[in-house]
């Protein structure tokens, strides 16, 4: 909750409803729904530090996600490419981490915008509080050490002595629960200073005790100088009503797929959409802000041996117990310790290796990655939208300019490398005409369509014009290797002068005969398709 700068109790209010809902509607045994650093960063862009906006955003996001699930629109997430996701998560890692530096250093009144934040933090670094800085860095060091300890921990075999297995369990539990242990230790240190009459740390402060009231989300915001109506609130959120639901869905499904692959089971993306939508809608009735799948908590679930989504019942119940009885203890948690926990959680999201990988695999994919990464430092929504647009343009370009292989022989063999759609018609016509007429002597053309599985009406019309244009120059155009659906479309179009050969060898013999002045009989009727 400190990331979107809403009162801290809203983080707890957001942490239990998703656990209960996913238990009944989810399809992945490990996934846990709740507030995450990335979703909190998005909420900070559209909630304007107002809990009313954050809760309404959860309700509207849930409605959109629910509608997408009912309409089976989960495939839309496939258009958000991996470079866009990596660019966003890497930028979010840096943005969230630097946003917490002010709490590590004990600084206040630092602007939210990233570049202003960097400038103000560096300008006022001399005002840093020594106590907060020492505690924050110590917590970071402890979290890093515990993480490294867990990653290097060898598995204890059942045949090992009991003492070894118990030691393994203690170390594994300490490393897995490192966030809780660090916060507990920091809280005890802060409480000790409080008892001694001095307090070198900035503390979390009072958090209201008790469960949130179950009531509809607010549809207006009362201000001292008037009321902000529902319509104005929706206009203020703007593109956030698309970005927040989509990124929530993307994060949940990506996590569910990753752990399902490890465990060898399948998930239903549309069912996941329904679960997330219901969780956000019901969560808004208990003052939750938007939630999504949490990678960290899901990993803990998987490593703990959770076998069904019913593990969420335990998680949700513990959060409710904390709200009911433990909030008074949260007063002594230093903000520097919470900042260290957040930084430790988001730093691994920065994937430096993706730049090197894309440079080796496909350098063009660096364009959407870099566009998303850089623009996310300005505004998150601009980075995501720009990255998706750039990826879409690259995808459309590959459709409009499919690879075309041209081979010269008795005839000109033109072989498209993929299906033909309307943006590619002009490119195909130019390639065929320029090569056929430039050959010495000009040659007839065979369009080898073995890689073409579908065409549309614009392509059919373009092929008819190509037939006519070549005929005007005394040349012929024939087809070979047509797949059944494509052949049926072309036969239905009744193209004048249409010739089709089942194989390239027959088309080549026709070309040789054509060049020698005689013709071979091509397959042109529906009855001939049985021979293909």
Percent of the chain's residues with pLDDT above 70 = 94
pLDDT at 390 over 90: yes
pLDDT at 456 over 60: yes
pLDDT at 177 over 70: yes
* pLDDT tens digits, one per residue of 458-474: 999 999 998 888 888 88
pLDDT at 133 over 90: yes
Q: Per-residue confidence at 303, pLDDT binned at 50, 70, 90?
A: low
Dihedral angle at the C-alpha atoms of 300, 306, 310, 314, nearest 10 degrees?
Answer: -50
pLDDT at 191 over 90: yes
Contact 273, 248 (CB under 8 A): no
In this prediction, residue 515 carries a pLDDT of 64
Quick one: which of 235, 234, 211, 233 has its CA closest to 222? 233
Instruction: Give 98: exposed, middle or buried? Use CB within 10 Å, 0-12, 13-18, 19+.
Output: middle
Q: Any idea which residue has 């809902």 for tokens?
A: 21
pLDDT at 78 over 80: no
Alpha carbons 249 and 71: distance in angstroms, whole number: 14
Q: Any idea which residue has 């993706």 for tokens?
A: 354
Residue 233 tokens read as 């609130």
Which stretch of 111-115, 282-286, 357-361, 528-532 has the lowest confidence by average pLDDT?
Answer: 528-532
pLDDT at 532 over 50: no
Question: CA 494 from chain center: how many Å?
Answer: 46
Q: Per-residue confidence at 337, pLDDT binned at 50, 70, 90?
A: very high
pLDDT at 109 over 50: yes
Alpha carbons 486 and 455: distance in angstroms, whole number: 7
Dihedral angle at the C-alpha atoms of 47, 25, 298, 157, nearest 10 degrees?
Answer: 170
As a whole number, mean pLDDT of residues 437-461 equals: 87
The number of residues making up the chain comes to 532
Quick one: which of 532, 423, 422, 424 has its CA closest to 414? 424
As a whole number, mean pLDDT of residues 385-391 equals: 89
pTM of the model: 0.75
Alpha carbons 381 and 417: distance in angstroms, whole number: 36
In this prediction, residue 262 carries a pLDDT of 60
In 369-518 the beta strands, taken as DSSP E runs, fall at 404-408, 412-416, 445-448, 477-480, 500-501
pLDDT at 423 over 80: yes
In this prediction, residue 439 carries a pLDDT of 77
Q: How many alpha carbons fall within 13 Å on the CB side of residue 43?
A: 34
In this prediction, residue 521 carries a pLDDT of 45
Q: What are phi and psi of 221, to 5 degrees?
A: -125, 120
| Secondary structure in 3-state letters for 202-256 | CECCCCCCCCCCCCCCCCCEEECCEEECHHHHHHHHCCHHHHHHHHHHHHHHHHH
Q: Helix or strand or coil: residue 111?
A: coil
Contact 342, 2 (CB under 8 A): yes
pLDDT at 195 over 60: yes
Which stretch of 48-52, 306-310, 329-333 has the lowest confidence by average pLDDT?
Answer: 306-310
CB atoms within 10 A of CB 123: 9
As a whole number, mean pLDDT of residues 437-463 equals: 87
As a whole number, mean pLDDT of residues 144-166 equals: 81
Alpha carbons 388 and 368: distance in angstroms, whole number: 7
Alpha carbons 324 and 16: distance in angstroms, whole number: 13
Residue 157 tokens read as 């075999």
Alpha carbons 189 and 201: distance in angstroms, whole number: 10
* pLDDT tens digits, one per residue of 396-405: 998 888 888 8
Residue by residue, DSSP assigns 350-374 as --THHHHHHHHH-GGGHHHHHHHHH
In this prediction, residue 297 carries a pLDDT of 76
Quick one: which of 8, 85, 4 has its CA closest to 40? 4
Q: What is the mean pLDDT of the chain?
A: 85
As a whole number, mean pLDDT of residues 345-349 equals: 81
Percent of the chain's residues with pLDDT above 90 = 29
In this prediction, residue 37 carries a pLDDT of 80
Q: Per-residue confidence at 376, pLDDT binned at 50, 70, 90?
A: confident
Q: What are phi and psi of 443, to 5 degrees?
A: -125, 150
Alpha carbons 337 and 202: distance in angstroms, whole number: 10
Quick one: which of 381, 386, 357 has its CA closest to 370? 386
Ordered domains of the chain (ranges, CATH):
8-349 (no CATH), 404-515 (3.30.750.24)
Q: Any idea which residue has 């801290």 for tokens?
A: 8
As a whole number, mean pLDDT of residues 81-87 equals: 85
Alpha carbons 345 and 35: distance in angstroms, whole number: 13
């Amino acid at each position: 909750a400190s990331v979107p700068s809403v009162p801290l109790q809203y983080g707890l209010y957001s942490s239990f409803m998703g656990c209960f809902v996913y238990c009944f509607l989810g399809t992945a045994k490990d996934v846990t729904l709740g507030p995450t650093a990335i979703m909190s960063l998005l909420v900070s862009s559209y909630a304007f530090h107002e809990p009313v906006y954050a809760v309404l955003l959860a309700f509207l996001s849930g409605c959109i996600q629910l509608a997408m699930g009912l309409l089976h629109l989960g495939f839309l997430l496939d258009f958000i490419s991996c470079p866009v996701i990596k660019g966003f998560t890497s930028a979010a890692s840096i943005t969230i981490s630097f946003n917490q530096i002010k709490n590590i250093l004990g600084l206040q009144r630092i602007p939210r915008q990233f570049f202003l934040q960097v400038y103000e933090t560096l300008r006022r670094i001399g005002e840093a509080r020594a106590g907060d800085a020492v505690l924050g860095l110590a917590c970071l060091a402890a979290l890093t050490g515990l993480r490294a300890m867990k990653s290097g921990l060898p598995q204890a075999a059942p045949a090992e002595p009991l003492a070894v297995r118990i030691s393994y369990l203690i170390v594994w539990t300490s490393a897995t629960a490192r966030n809780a242990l660090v916060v507990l230790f920091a809280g005890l240190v802060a409480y000790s200073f409080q008892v001694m009459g001095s307090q070198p740390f900035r503390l979390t402060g009072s958090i209201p005790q008790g469960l949130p009231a179950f009531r509809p989300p607010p549809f207006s915001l009362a201000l001292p100088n008037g009321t902000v109506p529902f319509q104005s609130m929706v206009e203020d959120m703007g593109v956030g009503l698309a970005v927040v639901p989509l990124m929530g869905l993307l994060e949940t499904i990506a996590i569910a797929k990753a752990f399902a692959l490890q465990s060898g089971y399948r998930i239903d993306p549309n069912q996941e959409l329904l679960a997330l939508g219901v969780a956000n809608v019901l969560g808004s009735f208990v003052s939750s802000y938007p939630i999504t799948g949490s990678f960290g908590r899901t990993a803990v679930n998987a490593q703990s041996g959770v076998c069904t989504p019913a593990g969420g019942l335990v998680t949700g119940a513990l959060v409710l117990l904390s709200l009911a009885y433990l909030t008074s203890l949260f007063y002594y948690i230093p903000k520097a310790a919470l900042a260290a926990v957040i930084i430790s959680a988001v730093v691994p999201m920065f994937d430096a290796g993706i730049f090197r990988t894309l440079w080796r695999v496909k350098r063009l994919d660096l364009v959407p990655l870099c566009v998303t990464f850089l623009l996310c430092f300005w505004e998150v929504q601009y980075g995501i939208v720009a990255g998706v647009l750039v990826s879409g343009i690259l995808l459309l370009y590959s459709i409009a300019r499919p690879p075309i292989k041209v081979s010269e022989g008795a005839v000109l063999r033109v072989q498209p490398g993929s299906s033909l759609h309307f943006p590619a018609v002009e490119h195909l016509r130019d390639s065929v005409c320029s090569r056929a007429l430039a050959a010495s002597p000009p040659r007839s053309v065979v369009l080898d369509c073995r890689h073409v599985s579908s065409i549309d009406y614009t392509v059919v019309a373009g092929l008819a014009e190509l037939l006519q244009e070549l005929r005007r120059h005394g040349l012929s155009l024939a087809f070979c290797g047509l797949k059944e659906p494509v052949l049926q479309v072309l036969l239905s179009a009744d193209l004048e002068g249409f010739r089709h050969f089942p194989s390239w060898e027959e088309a080549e013999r026709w070309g040789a005969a054509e060049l020698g002045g005689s013709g071979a009989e091509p397959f042109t009727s529906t009855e001939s398709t049985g021979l293909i």
